[in-house]
Amino acid sequence: MSRIADAFARARRENRAAFVAYLTAGDPTANATVELASALGDSGADILELGVPFSDPIADGPVIQRAGSRALAGRTTLETVFEMAGRIRDSTRLPLVLFSYVNPLLRRGLSRAAREAEAAGFDAVLLTDVPPEEAGSVRGPFVAAGLDTVFLVSPTSPPARMEAAARLSGGFLYVVSRPGTTGARAALARELPETVRRARRAAGELPIAIGFGISTPETARRAAKLADGVVVGSALVRAAEEAGERRVEAVRRLATSLSAACRREKAWHAR
């Protein structure tokens, strides 16, 4: 069983949704990223998505755009992201997802990037701008390196695309909660339960995780009632940004509350 599969299985046994956290690698420094990852691991996160900063982040809202700009200004590269991942792997038990646009990996060379990602301790790769219809030439090197590939589906995904994304995914299927970019939202979309039902039909036994827009314990609690996992990114990045030198304390506090919100009060079964 992979580390990601084990994390979801453990959460299910404990009657909770897995808490999937996101950080932009290198924001504001490599050392800060490693410290924040350790704090997340200590505060209940089950899985960590480590984002590769990119100059044209079309799927990201302003919070993660700013984080990427800070990381790039600090000369974060794919190579230094792998170095950070190695340090995180040495200091935590968190399964790691390489969260990236495809361009940085193409520039490195897909086969080389896949081998280096696996060697650094990553368990999976999520490419935000590769749809399942165009994944054939991209996915192979990562599968060959032993990495899970995670694909995205959204409320606008037709059944055929959801089925294709689920068929190509390992670890989990990522359900985007609403159309648009990443970013904190005050409430979940009204159509989310129906989106999750459709994704569940496509995914079968594969776990599904909801992301984009989950920012508070209340929204995390509601998402945990629908899915196997809850993904939080912008809220954690923003907490670190606003806290400055006290970023570790701020992220630890928010992560603890989000982790608690992922626990279910009643027995839960996939719908």
Q: Sign of the CA dihedral 120, 252, 231, 22?
A: negative
Extract the runs of DSSP E, i.e. beta strands, from the chain: 18-24, 47-51, 96-100, 124-127, 148-150, 152-153, 173-176, 208-211, 229-232
Report which DSSP code applies to 134. G
Q: CA–CA separation, 53 vs 72, rounded Å?
A: 6
Q: 4 near 124, Cβ under 8 Å?
A: yes
- Which pair of structure tokens corresponds to residue 236? 């954690």
Which residue of the set 46, 49, 123, 228 is catalytic? 49
* Nearest in space to 63 (alpha carbons), one of 187, 233, 209, 189: 233
**H or E element in which residue 209 lies:** strand 208-211
249 as an active site residue: the answer is: no
49 as an active site residue: the answer is: yes
Which residue of the set 14, 27, 46, 60 is catalytic? 60
CA triplet 246, 250, 255: central angle to 5 degrees?
150
Q: 38 near 252, Cβ under 8 Å?
A: no
Residues annotated as part of the active site: 49, 60
